[in-house]
Amino acid sequence: MFHSIRLFVLSVMNIVQSNYTIMGNSLSQSSLTKKYVVALAGLFLITFLFVHLAINLLLLLPATDTFNVAAHFMGTNIIIKVFEVVLFSGIFIHIIYSLIVQVQNWMARPVRYKLENWSHTSPFSKFMIHTSVIIFIFLVFHLIEFYIETKFLGQIADVVIDGESYPDMGLKVITAFKIPIVVIGYILSFIVLGFHLHHGFQSAFQSLGLNHTKYTPTIKLLSTAVSIILAVGFIIIPLAIYFGNY
């Protein structure tokens, strides 16, 4: 299926390019800028994932009160609300720009092999477009269930903590993670996310020009650490809730 989509996109782009021959040069120049943007947005999203993971791990405390208060703070604080706009723009920009860069790579296929570099030594580099599609599908389901349903459709019960009423986000997550298919779907998505980050993290540094032999081993090591910490950290949550006494 990916092959047919790729062929379709390539033919459309070829028609566009033959109509506007001037695009040939400007395309490769601007693709460098786009790579910077994809890299910066990607690193920003990784920072978000660490914060998100830290808050989600509060779910594993004996009571969900701390998680509920933290989630409520994150959902209502004005600074965090501004950050949310930046976050969603970051996700949007990262997806759109990486798609454009991917299509440009396909179009410049003979050149691409000459530009082969150390970040492509990651075994997951060939599957970035595949893993990103899976992460995108995960995000759509995730945001519908925990973001749109609770924030815009009011499908969430309230809980009173220290005399104040909070949306019981903890209960919502725990209820979801008692369903086997949800747990399996989430765990598979986190494994794919780990693969995506393993290449994505080191590739971001490469795009930003940090491909010096002195730093490469450290960046590769960090890339492996970041992908394992995030994937395993997120996987622990549904597993602990499903098998634990929550």
Q: Interface residues with ligand HEM (CB under 6 A)?
A: 49, 52, 56, 71, 74-75, 84, 87, 135, 139, 142-143, 146-147, 169, 173, 193, 234, 237-238
For residue 3, the minimal CB distance to ligand HEM (Å) is: 26
CB within 8 Å of 81: residues ≥ 6 apart: none
> Of 103 and 192, which has the nearer Cβ to ligand HEM?
192
> Of 7 and 80, which has the nearer Cβ to ligand HEM?
80
For residue 120, the minimal CB distance to ligand HEM (Å) is: 23
> Of 57 and 108, which has the nearer Cβ to ligand HEM?
57
For residue 146, the minimal CB distance to ligand HEM (Å) is: 4
As a whole number of angstroms, the distance between CA 27 and CA 33 comes to 10
> Of 12 and 148, which has the nearer Cβ to ligand HEM?
148
DSSP notation for 28-74: HHHHHHHHHHHHHHHHHHHHHHHHHHHHHHGGGSSSSHHHHHHHHHH
For residue 168, the minimal CB distance to ligand HEM (Å) is: 11
For residue 138, the minimal CB distance to ligand HEM (Å) is: 7
Which DSSP category does 153 fall into? S
CA R_g for the chain: 21
As a whole number of angstroms, the distance between CA 226 and CA 228 comes to 6
Alpha-helical runs (H) found in 144-244: 149-151, 169-176, 180-207, 216-243
> Of 106 and 147, which has the nearer Cβ to ligand HEM?
147
